[in-house]
Structure 1
Amino acid sequence: MEETVTITIPASIRQMLNRTPEEIGRDLRLYAALMMFRLGKLSSGAAAEMAGIPRVMFLDLCADYGIPISQITAEEL
């Protein structure tokens, strides 16, 4: 089951970003999923599902954005 969340964005912001409303929606889903994963609120699988992309692609994007995929410290290893 999916839920819909509505976010109002000023038209000037959409124009600055030069993105369609659909593209902004996809971007926001991805960025929210990345942040929730980074904060430990979602697993990588759940975050990938939220973003609407395969888990492997999500993990690649984590690397692109400098988000560690493991919370294990060097000392714990």
Structure 2
Amino acid sequence: MQNTIEITCPQEILLGLRLDADQFADLIKEEAAVALFREGRLSSGMAASWLGVPRAHFLLKAMRAGANLLENNEDDFLRETSLL
């Protein structure tokens, strides 16, 4: 099941960003996915699925946005290497 969320955005924002409404919606969706992942509220797999991109692509995007991909502990290392 999918939900649609409607937000109100002044035209000035779209003009300032040089985006149409669909492009702005995509930007907000990407930013939300990265932010929720960074906060630990959304897994990388779920975020990638939501955006319709491969997990590796999402992880690169999140890393460029400053997300820590691993906490450098043994549990994270084992979890991530088990997927290889």
- Provide the identity percentage: 32
Report which of the two has the higher share of helix.
Answer: 2
Question: TM-score normalized by structure 1?
Answer: 0.86
Q: Is 1:5 the equivalent of 2:5?
A: yes
On the 8 A contact 1:14/1:21 being kept in 2, the answer is yes
The aligned counterpart of 1:20 is: 20
The one-letter code matched in structure 1 to 2:55 is R
**Where in structure 2 are there 5+ consecutive unaligned residues?**
75-84
Amino acid at match of 1:18: R
Q: CA deviation at 1:51?
A: 2.3
Counterparts in 2 of 1:26-65, with a 5 A limit? 26-65=26-65
Tell me, in whole angstroms, the C-alpha distance in 2 between the residues paired with 1:17 and 1:11: 10
* TM-score computed with the length of structure 2 as normaliser: 0.80
User: How far does residue 20 in structure 1 lie from its aligned partner after superposition?
Assistant: 1.0
**Alignment correspondent of 2:81:** none
Greater C-alpha radius of gyration: 2
Q: Distance in 1 between matches of 2:39 and 2:65?
A: 14
How far the C-alpha of 1:52 sits from its partner, in A, is 2.6
Q: Which runs of 5+ in 1 are unaligned?
A: none
* RMSD of equivalent CA atoms: 1.3
